[in-house]
Chains A and B, each alone.
Chain A
Amino acid sequence: MRKAILRLVPPAMGSITPLNRFRRLDGSQIRAILHAVFILALMIAALATPGFLSGPALQSLLTTISFIGCVAVGMTLVTISGNILALSLGATVGASALVVIAASNRSGLAEAIPLALMFGSMVGAVQGALIGCLRANPIIVTIATSVLIYGAAQPITGNAAFYAVYPTSDSLLNARLLGMPIEFVVFVAILLICQFLLSFTVFGRNVFMVGDSFNAARAAGLRPWATIIGAYSCAGAFSAIAGIMLALRYGRASMEFGLGYDYSAIAAVLVGGTAISGGQGSAIRTFAGMMIIGIVQVVLLLQGFRQEWQYLITGVIVLGVVLLSPPAGR
């Protein structure tokens, strides 16, 4: 009897089981499900961790992600424009911090902050000019710029930190806005500016087009070099903001401030799901990536994992998220 019924049922209908439904999903649907499962698991782990929702833990999380977050937002623009790995942004953070402390000691913060911003932007623009106008390789140019900045800083600083003559952290960065640290507010402002640029301006549209195909963008009448210079200038300026905030918080500046920021920033960009080959992504995604990495680190810390295990587990999670990203076009 059962065999007779099965003969009447079309094979396709007869094979609809949860497992088969899962098998019929395409790659992007499976990745979306796995992403959702991962985020759900992370949220459960965070909420189940004693002390995670406490004020100090959240304040610490928001402050920590703000500095690297500014660099990551800049890295997002560069990545979407099709130029992977701006390895000079960490050096730009340190150098901008030096500029703001040195300038504020001479002429006050009102002049020092715009000067540091201009410095970061110019450093980015020069790299963007080499990459955009000459099509020089972005990895080589940014590695060389990083070595150049660290090398040039040595005779200026004598490998020592610059200290602010007047205390800076009391007046500015200990302030709170709606209970949030001021660094986080600045980071969110940068994030929104970047997302606005990407979503609602001609520059943002050009960044996506150039990242998708440099030659197609040129054939469409765009000036890809100008877009790339713009993307690197913004990345330099955003990194300078991170440097300024670090300098003001600690009342000193050192080239050690930006060490390792490049890798942390690109990890946030990748975890957020921005395409490393360019042409896709958003600043909001990078914010999500930054939050995921930050939450994982806070949860591990509160769960009593030592720092070495935090490094390892963060690495495994970054690799796991990278494995869930769509295949690269080869």
Chain B
Amino acid sequence: MRLLSHNQHTRPVVLLATVFACFALFDFNQGRFLSIATLTSELDTFCTIGLVALGLGATMVIGEFDLSVPGVFGMAGCIAVLSGVEHPAMGFLLAVLAGLSAGIIQGLLIHRLRLTSIGVTLGGLLITVGVAYVLTDSASIPYDNLDVALAMNDQYAGVFTSRTLMTIAVFAIVAVLASITRIGRDVVATGSDRNAALVAGVNVGGILVGIFAFSGALSAMSGALLSYSLASASPAGLSDVLVPAATAAIIGGVSLGGGTGRPLGIAAGVLTLAAFRSGFSAIGAEPWVSDITTSVALLFVSVLDAPALAGRFRRLMHLGDPADLK
């Protein structure tokens, strides 16, 4: 319990190991959870949610929140499908550039006008959703270049697809950059105490704009890859990503208060969520079992992270000074 409540770095790994162990025990020798099909399904969920969770988690690490990720995700998928029939790479690039631009504009507005990220990114969400509807005339659109769709789903080593490998590569690069360069340290410093970071010489504005650009670009990348993989795009988005991404980031040790969280922790959080979904599906449970379990786990994590939990607990046990627990 102490590992879960006090160490944000080990918690995601402990949770992931616990979830895997529970499913493996439940599925003892039946080969439903510990199978190639379940692993492939988990990695598929990891691809869809992972990059969005990484970007959203980064905004949470600096103490902000990017509500626009589902809008950028859907818009990028539409841009990629519309512009990438002849030249898929160009379509992908345009989609990522659109997400990057959306992130930069939002970051600049938040920084320059000193506005709250919730308000600005809510506007960003509504605008990007609107752009996606305008681009597609409010209809789902098929992607005619089926060669690309097939190539996206080609499997390597039995379980990996191009999408999986790209997602893992992005996580690895970001994890390395966060641990060996100044950027990672500055991001955490910005989220921990913005004024102290400013005094210490951190380019807080640059970090803020950069993180929102990063979030926009990763959401767009994820949306474009999913659209190529499913050979279609929808202005409503092919998948609900905000709630799972926020859940994965939080399970992965990111604190909404800022200053806490690592890329590998977020990866573990996404894998935990993916294990919940694929694991329950593999053992034949209804989808709602996964939803309820995930929400209970999220409530559990939120209670563990609650600043007043220890005080309330002490008061309950009559061990602390009631005066400071009012």
Q: Does B138 contact A (CB under 8 A)?
A: yes
Is the CB of A146 closer than 8 A to any CB of chain B?
yes
Residue numbers in A under 8 Å from B126 (CB-CB): 263, 267, 311, 314-315, 318-319
Partner pick for B116 among A133, A146, A277, A318, CB 8 A cutoff: A277
A270 vs B250: C-alpha distance in the bound complex, in angstroms?
26
Scan B233-262; emit 1 where CB is below 8 A from any A CB, else 0: 001000000010011001000001100000
B115 and A136 contacting across the interface, CB-CB below 8 Å: no
- Say whether A130 contacts B299, CB under 8 Å: yes
Determine whether B124 belongs to the interface, using a CB cutoff of 8 Å to chain A: yes
The contact string, 1 if C-beta is below 8 Å from chain B, for chain A 293-330, is: 00000000000001111011111101110110101101
Known: A147-B291, A330-B114. A319 touches B123 (CB 8 A): yes
Docked pose: A319 CA to B71 CA in angstroms? 14
Given contacts A137-B302, A139-B256, A147-B294, contact A312 B134 (CB under 8 A): yes
The one of A141, A306, A319, A322 in contact with B302, judged by C-beta atoms closer than 8 angstroms, is A141
* Contact segment of B18-26, B148-156, B306-314: B306-314
Are A140 and B298 also in contact (CB < 8 A) when A218-B326, A263-B125 are?
Answer: yes
Structural contact, A263 and B307, CB atoms closer than 8 A: no
Dominant SS among interface residues on chain A? helix
In the complex formed, the residue of A with least CB distance to B195 is A330
Q: Chain A residues near B118 (CB, 8 Å)? A: 84-85, 266, 276
| Interface bracket on B | 35 or more
Q: Point out the residue from B122, B130, B243, B296 that lies within 8 Å of A263, measured CB to CB.
A: B122
Contacts of B125 in A (CB 8 A): 263, 315
The residue that A323 contacts in the complex, of B113, B291, B294, with Cβ under 8 A, is B113
- Listed residue (A134, A141, A145) with the most chain B CB atoms within 10 angstroms of its CB: A134
Contact of B292 with A322 in the complex, beta carbons under 8 Å: no
- As a 0/1 sequence over residues 131 to 165 of chain B, the CB contacts with chain A under 8 angstroms (1 = contact) are 10110111000000000000000000000000000
B131 engages A312 (CB within 8 Å):
yes
A156 closest partner in B (C-beta):
B288
Cα separation A308 to B127 with both chains bound (whole Å)? 10
Contact A328 B115 (CB under 8 A): yes
Q: Does B73 contact A (CB under 8 A)?
A: no
Contacts of B131 in A (CB 8 A): 312
Q: For the complex, what is the distance from the CA of A309 to the CA of B290, rounded to whole Å?
A: 37
CA distance A147 to B67 in the complex (A): 17
B303 CB-CB contact with A under 8 Å: yes
A137 touching B257 by the CB < 8 A rule?
Answer: yes
Once A130-B306, A144-B302 are accepted as A-B contacts, the answer to whether A311 and B256 lie under 8 Å apart by CB is no
Interface check B212, CB cutoff 8 A: no
CB distance from B198 to the nearest CB of A (A): 10
**Contact between chains at A147 and B115 (CB < 8 Å):** no
Q: Mark A136-164, 1 if CB is under 8 A from B, else 0.
A: 11011101111110111011000000000
Could you jot down 18 A-B contacts, CB within 8 Å?
A84-B118, A85-B118, A130-B303, A134-B309, A137-B302, A144-B302, A145-B295, A148-B299, A152-B288, A154-B286, A155-B288, A309-B134, A316-B130, A318-B126, A319-B120, A319-B127, A322-B123, A325-B115
B residues contacting A by CB (< 8 A) are 65, 67, 109, 113-116, 118-120, 122-131, 133-134, 136-138, 194-195, 235, 243, 246-247, 250, 256-257, 286-292, 294-296, 298-299, 301-303, 305-309, 312, 326
- Which residues of A are in contact with B by a Cβ distance under 8 Å? 84-85, 87, 130, 133-137, 139-141, 143-148, 150-152, 154-155, 218, 223, 263, 266-267, 270, 276-277, 306-309, 311-316, 318-320, 322-323, 325, 327-328, 330
Top 6 A-B pairs, shortest CB-CB distance? A319-B123, A312-B130, A151-B291, A315-B126, A308-B133, A327-B114
15 more A-B residue pairs beyond the given contacts A135-B307, A323-B113, with a C-beta to C-beta distance below 8 A: A85-B118, A134-B303, A135-B308, A143-B243, A143-B247, A148-B291, A151-B290, A311-B129, A312-B133, A315-B126, A322-B122, A323-B120, A327-B115, A328-B114, A328-B116
